[in-house]
Amino acid sequence: MSRSLTDSRYDCWLASACMPSGMVRKLLLEFGSPEGCYLALQKHEEAVSQIITPRFYRMLSESGREEILQKYGKKLEQHSIRSILYTDPLYPESLKDLSDSPPVLFYQGNLECSGGRALCMVGSRAASYSGQKAARKLAADLGTQGVTIISGMASGIDAAAHQGCMEGKSPTVAVLGCGLDKPYPADNIPLRDEILKNDGLILSEYAPGEKAAGWHFPVRNRIIVGLSRALILMEARIRSGSMTSVNHALEQGKDVFVYPGDPASENFEGNHQLLREGGIYFTSARDILEDMHWLDNPPAVRHNSDCAQEQITRTPEEEKVIKALKPGSLSFEQLLIHTELSPSVLMSTLTILQIRGVIEAMPGKQYKIKQ
Amino acid sequence: MEEIMARTVSFGVSGVNGFRVNVEVFGIDSMPGLEIIGLPDTSVRESKDRVNAAIINSGREIKPRRITINLAPADMKKEGPSFDLPIAVGFMTVVKALTPDPHIDMDKTAMFGELSLDGSVQPINGALPMVISAKENGMETVILPEKNAREVSCIQGIKILPVHHLKQVIHWLEGKENIPEQEQISFETLKNEAVPVMDMSQIKGQKGARRAVEVAAAGGHNMLMIGVPGSGKTMLARCIPGILPPMSFEESLETTRIHSICGRLPAGSGLMVTRPFCAPHHNASVASLIGGGQDAKPGEVSLAHNGVLFLDELPEFSRGALEALRQPLEDGIVSVARVKRQAQYQSSFMLIAAMNPCPCGYYGSNRRTCRCTPPEIRRYLDRVSGPLLDRIDLQIEVDSVPVNEINDAEPSESSAAVAERVRKAREIQQLRYKGTGKHCNAQLTNTEVGKYCTPDAEGLRLLNMAVDSMHLSMRAYQRILKVARTIADLADEETISSVHIAEAVQYRELDQKYWR
């Protein structure tokens, strides 16, 4: 049973001190509920100060006032945020196994979507164009197979993962490192709304009003990993936040799938290091599904429109361009050399192929065959 | 007490036009002194000291008298040192240092020029509008600094006497010496002497961008280039004046006038025959771009009139400066209003802008990794506002050329060959828009696009498909049609076919990649 608004206010109060989860759990065992803790603190019961350190005692008593509770109540109501305790039967099963699972979780949306086939996808915020494209496509392919993608709603890979999953008509879960009333980064508020509209879930262990702090994110990553059955690393440098997620996955005994990005790019150096150290190599959603033993219901043969397009006769110019792009992406100038077409003819040919969905244009005047 | 009065004719500049100024000098035997009235500015007031020294250094003596100099009409501000020469002549007449030959009609002789203390005559700004105005005011002769003579040498119907020293003027007025008349230099001669601008043959590779530049020049379209640092955006822009059709005499006159009053003409130059290329730095103020200052001087947009305004590092320009470009881009004219002055200047230019794809410059490059975060990139791109982008028809990406390709590349086509195709395309356009006041495709309004830029059925089908599959905006739709019209004109074809549309779509690729 999810908690009532009145109860949730006490949850906010308890979570606002950001105490270690062990301490919170002890409090809850002792006093039964956050409300119990609140009343005990108001009465200055000895037991409270035995469990928590003086610093947290001070923080909790300072914020333990009726008007602050009311403020929380307003925020919860305004953003339709609800909370759940770790003792609740609805509390995500997968998180219960964590040694430091968050005692209180705040959420918006559909809590039930976090169960089942869930994978997390992590990667750089300043991801390359190709990395983002790949993440989006992979998430979409997994989504169509009923996999829920879990990520952190940051820009770059995270955003691409959420978007892709929704394109695959599967709900997606975002775990934030700040209060749900003010998602960080603010740029992704439209993305949050979209996630909620698509029956997804937004989670956080931080009380509403809690601002994003640098140390929240590595801690938050344990929840992302905890909720998932395995981790997919899309694009990471060696020293990066994504690598903390990988460490969480290893600690929690979960598989790590590593996308083999461009070895020449610094952006993928973390990927390649992990692959050398035994990360699981994959190239498509099918590889992952197979390794996860989720291929029980083999995907139906997709009737994509490509079959129909094959019948369209291509002009010699179009053939030339397609042939030149077969080995990989090329820039406009390189295409001119390979195809020996005039600039204006090449431009019109490229447009026609783009419209037909045969090739795509990338930043930097690069073209490649669409997969 | 003996009173004496003298009058000489000169010209001043207001906006881009000259106006007649009568320099009246009145002398009386009284307490020696000199006063200049008639709204002179500081440089005009200081004229008395220059004039004094110059007269003495020309070997004439000055008899002390009380002198009043009036610059009529008295209600217009007089600026600059160009009144030195007429003041000196009037002054000498009044102090009896000079007696003009009675055969010379002083009312039909205009003069202007700055005097140096040693008596030499220095060049001034705005000679061209002054001489044009002198001719319109029925002057027969104009005496001006030698270094300004070439600038006005193609004005017909007025005798131009270039001088380098005050002595020459004195001797000519006394009828002792003749000043050789400035010979007419025809516009055609000047054209042949034109200093060549950067030639397209110097650009290696970049065939895609070269083609885009050609299309932009052919239709007079504004263009935005996005590319990594060092990809040759500036070089491409510098080539554009050389491939635009040559300036007509009227265009040259308009542009030279503006440059003349700003003092931007190199000493001893004639009418401008090459189209101007103005590249203000990105810290330029609104006033320096659009025009302004106390005396409402023309800005870079007017100096680029009939030529190219090149804005490198477009997002680094201040928001105000970029937004202020909208009026001149739309109307080809800019109104500069200040408390004391207001003026209208022509500013019909081709805007060529260049920018990096992101703050670090390497977004999308396959040679170096970009280190910018997506919000940084978005903020950078957002500095260029939609309404400004709306006025830029061609938006292209310029890729850098690898060093080995620079060396291998066969020699590129020269500007002359490209200019010839551009000229033909412009001729077709001028014929089509005869009597509408337009002269190139870029000037078409949306309704005119509907009238002149209708593609054939296949072209229309392709365009609709492109808009659908590439998520292009309605704004892009109109621009594509306009540019396709230019591409068809370059190919000398009356109907816009699918090939032309397909090429034009490529010039909107940034819409899809950057500003979605």
CA distance B318 to chain A (A): 24
Q: How far apart are CA A245 and CA A256, in angstroms?
A: 10
- And the tokens for B2? 């003996």
Q: What count of other Cβ atoms lies within 10 Å of the Cβ of residue B327?
A: 15
Q: Would you state the pLDDT for residue B338? A: 84
Please choose, from the candidates B140, B219, B206, the residue with its C-alpha nearest in 3D space to the C-alpha of residue B401.
B206
From A342, which residue of chain B is nearest by alpha-carbon distance? B207
Judgement on whether residues A242 and A172 belong to the same structural domain of the protein: yes
Chain B residues inside the 8 Å CB shell of A362: 364, 513
Judgement on whether residues A285 and A181 belong to the same structural domain of the protein: yes
% residues pLDDT > 70 (chain B)? 97
All domains of chain B in start order, with CATH: 3-173 (3.30.230.10), 200-412 (3.40.50.300), 444-516 (1.10.8)
The answer to whether residue A101 sits within a structural domain is no
The answer to whether residue A97 sits within a structural domain is no
Q: Would you state the pLDDT for residue A334? A: 85
Judgement on whether residues A322 and A254 belong to the same structural domain of the protein: no
Q: How far apart are CA A179 and CA B429, in angstroms?
A: 61
Instruction: List C-alpha distances in Å: A48 to A23, A25, A63, A371.
Output: 10, 12, 15, 61
Q: What is the DSSP letter of B202?
A: G
Residue B403 has pLDDT above 80, yes or no: no
Judgement on whether residues A282 and A319 belong to the same structural domain of the protein: no
Of the partner residues B211, B366, B513, the one whose CB lies closest to the CB of residue A344: B211
Judgement on whether residues A41 and A138 belong to the same structural domain of the protein: no
Q: What count of other Cβ atoms lies within 10 Å of the Cβ of residue B193?
A: 10
Say yes or no: A352 contacts chain B, CB-CB below 8 A.
yes
Q: How far apart are CA B358 and CA B368, in angstroms?
A: 13
- And the tokens for A288? 């992952």
* Relative orientation angle of helices B84-94 and B47-57, to the nearest 10 degrees: 60
Q: Is B108 exposed, middle or buried (0-12, 13-18, 19+ CB in 10 A)?
A: middle
Contact B469 A352 (CB under 8 A): no
- In the listed set A239, A257, A291, which residue is the last one of a domain according to the structure? A291
Chain A residues inside the 8 Å CB shell of B397: 363-365
Say yes or no: A133 contacts chain B, CB-CB below 8 A.
no
- In the listed set A23, A58, A79, which residue is the last one of a domain according to the structure? A79
Confidence of residue B215 (pLDDT cuts 50, 70, 90): very high
Judgement on whether residues A152 and A39 belong to the same structural domain of the protein: no
Quote the ipTM score: 0.77
Mean pLDDT of A236-248: 91
Judgement on whether residues A279 and A233 belong to the same structural domain of the protein: yes
Strands across the sheet with B66-72, in order?
A: B33-37, B66-72, B17-28, B3-14, B109-111, B141-145, B159-163
Q: How far apart are CA B198 and CA B237, in angstroms?
A: 9
Residue A1 has pLDDT above 80, yes or no: no
- In the listed set A79, A100, A131, which residue is the last one of a domain according to the structure? A79
* Relative orientation angle of helices A34-42 and A5-15, to the nearest 10 degrees: 70
pLDDT in tens, B10-61: 999 988 889 999 999 999 988 888 999 999 999 999 999 999 999 999 999 8
Mean pLDDT of chain A: 87
Question: Residue A194: what residue type?
Answer: E
pLDDT in tens, A72-131: 999 999 999 999 998 888 898 888 888 888 999 999 998 888 778 899 999 998 888 889
Of the partner residues A266, A352, A363, the one whose CB lies closest to the CB of residue B513: A363
Residue range of the domain that includes A177: 111-291
- And the tokens for B19? 């106006």
Judgement on whether residues A162 and A26 belong to the same structural domain of the protein: no
Judgement on whether residues A249 and A154 belong to the same structural domain of the protein: yes
Contact B374 A357 (CB under 8 A): no
Contact A364 B466 (CB under 8 A): no
Choose the mutation target among A365, A366, A367, A368 for the interface with B, i.e. most B CBs under 10 Å. A365
pLDDT in tens, A273-305: 999 998 999 999 999 998 888 886 554 444 444
The dihedral through the CA atoms of A223, A229, A234, A237 has a sign that is positive
Q: How far apart are CA A123 and CA A160, in angstroms?
A: 10
Q: Is B382 helix (H, G, I), strand (E, B) or coil?
A: helix
Question: Count of residues for chain A?
Answer: 371
Question: Residue A177: what residue type?
Answer: G
pLDDT in tens, B316-369: 999 999 989 988 988 889 998 888 778 899 999 999 999 998 898 888 777 777
The answer to whether residue A153 sits within a structural domain is yes
Residue B315 has pLDDT above 90, yes or no: yes
Mean pLDDT of chain B: 89
Say yes or no: A185 contacts chain B, CB-CB below 8 A.
yes
Of the partner residues B364, B374, B470, the one whose CB lies closest to the CB of residue A155: B374
Chain B residues inside the 8 Å CB shell of A266: 369
Q: How far apart are CA B186 and CA B176, in angstroms?
A: 31
CA distance B427 to chain A (A): 21
Residue A20 has pLDDT above 70, yes or no: yes
Write the CATH number for A192: 3.40.50.450
- And the tokens for A4? 């009532």
Residue A8 has pLDDT above 50, yes or no: yes
CA distance A266 to chain B (A): 7
Say yes or no: A365 contacts chain B, CB-CB below 8 A.
yes
Residue B131 has pLDDT above 60, yes or no: yes
Q: How far apart are CA B264 and CA B383, in angstroms?
A: 31
Distance of CA A146 to the CA centre of its chain: 16
Q: Would you state the pLDDT for residue B160? A: 94
Confidence of residue B113 (pLDDT cuts 50, 70, 90): very high
Q: Would you state the pLDDT for residue B63? A: 85
Q: How far apart are CA B62 and CA A222, in angstroms?
A: 98
Dihedral (Cα; A121, A122, A127, A129), 10-degree rounding: -10
CA distance B502 to chain A (A): 4
Q: What count of other Cβ atoms lies within 10 Å of the Cβ of residue B281?
A: 11
Please choose, from the candidates B381, B63, B400, the residue with its C-alpha nearest in 3D space to the C-alpha of residue B227.
B400
- And the tokens for B20? 């007649």
CA distance B151 to chain A (A): 42
Choose the mutation target among B509, B510, B514, B515 for the interface with A, i.e. most A CBs under 10 Å. B509
Contact A351 B371 (CB under 8 A): no
Contact B210 A343 (CB under 8 A): yes
Of the partner residues A332, A350, A364, the one whose CB lies closest to the CB of residue B366: A364
Give CA angle at B133 (B128, B135), nearest 5°: 100
The answer to whether residue A90 sits within a structural domain is no
Q: Is A158 exposed, middle or buried (0-12, 13-18, 19+ CB in 10 A)?
A: buried
The answer to whether residue A334 sits within a structural domain is yes
Mean pLDDT of B283-292: 91
pLDDT in tens, A179-208: 999 898 888 899 999 999 999 999 999 999
Confidence of residue A255 (pLDDT cuts 50, 70, 90): very high
The answer to whether residue A298 sits within a structural domain is no
Can you point out the beta strands (E) in B233-356?
A: 277-278, 291-292, 297-298, 308-311, 333-337, 342-346, 350-355
Chain B residues inside the 8 Å CB shell of A357: 469
Mean pLDDT of B221-240: 91
Judgement on whether residues A310 and A284 belong to the same structural domain of the protein: no
Contact A347 B208 (CB under 8 A): yes
Largest CA distance in chain B: 94
Contact A361 B512 (CB under 8 A): yes
Strands across the sheet with A366-369, in order?
A: A330-331, A366-369, A359-362
Confidence of residue B511 (pLDDT cuts 50, 70, 90): low
* Residues in A 227-286 with any Cβ partner in B closer than 8 A: 265-267
Mean pLDDT of A232-244: 92
Chain B residues inside the 8 Å CB shell of A187: 375, 378
User: Which is more confident, A2 or A52?
Assistant: A52
Place of tokens 């229309």: B460
Say yes or no: A130 contacts chain B, CB-CB below 8 A.
no
User: What global pTM score does this model have?
Assistant: 0.76
Q: Would you state the pLDDT for residue A48? A: 85
pLDDT in tens, A124-183: 988 888 899 899 999 999 999 889 999 999 989 999 999 999 999 999 999 999 999 989
Contact B208 A128 (CB under 8 A): no
Which of A337-351, B84-98, B221-235, B389-403 shows the lowest mean pLDDT across its residues?
A: B389-403
Mean pLDDT of A329-337: 86
Largest CA distance in chain A: 87
Confidence of residue B154 (pLDDT cuts 50, 70, 90): confident
Q: Would you state the pLDDT for residue A150? A: 95
Write the CATH number for A316: 1.10.10.10
Instruction: Identify the top-confidence range among A59-63, A223-227, B437-441.
Output: A223-227
Helix, strand, coil % over all residues of chain B, rounded to 5: 40, 20, 40
The size of the A-B interface in CB pairs under 8 A is: 100
Say yes or no: A351 contacts chain B, CB-CB below 8 A.
yes
Judgement on whether residues A323 and A280 belong to the same structural domain of the protein: no
Q: How many domains does chain A have?
A: 3
Sorted by sequence, the CB contacts under 8 Å of residue B137 that are 6+ apart come out as B11, B20, B110
The answer to whether residue A162 sits within a structural domain is yes
Contact A333 B466 (CB under 8 A): no
Instruction: List C-alpha distances in Å: B44 to B53, B84, B86.
Output: 15, 8, 12
% residues pLDDT > 70 (chain A)? 95
CA distance B433 to chain A (A): 26
Contact A156 B398 (CB under 8 A): no
Contact B366 A366 (CB under 8 A): yes
Say yes or no: A331 contacts chain B, CB-CB below 8 A.
yes
Residue B122 has pLDDT above 80, yes or no: yes
From B205, which residue of chain A is nearest by alpha-carbon distance? A333
Chain A residues inside the 8 Å CB shell of B207: 333, 336, 343
Q: Would you state the pLDDT for residue A306? A: 45
User: Which is more confident, B229 or B472?
Assistant: B229
Mean pLDDT of B467-486: 86
pLDDT in tens, B484-506: 999 999 999 999 999 999 999 88
Judgement on whether residues A132 and A195 belong to the same structural domain of the protein: yes
Chain A residues inside the 8 Å CB shell of B500: 348
Say yes or no: A332 contacts chain B, CB-CB below 8 A.
yes
Chain B residues inside the 8 Å CB shell of A348: 498-500, 502-503, 506
Contact A352 B462 (CB under 8 A): yes
CA distance B353 to chain A (A): 17
Q: How far apart are CA A23 and CA A39, in angstroms?
A: 17
Q: Is A214 helix (H, G, I), strand (E, B) or coil?
A: coil
The answer to whether residue A280 sits within a structural domain is yes
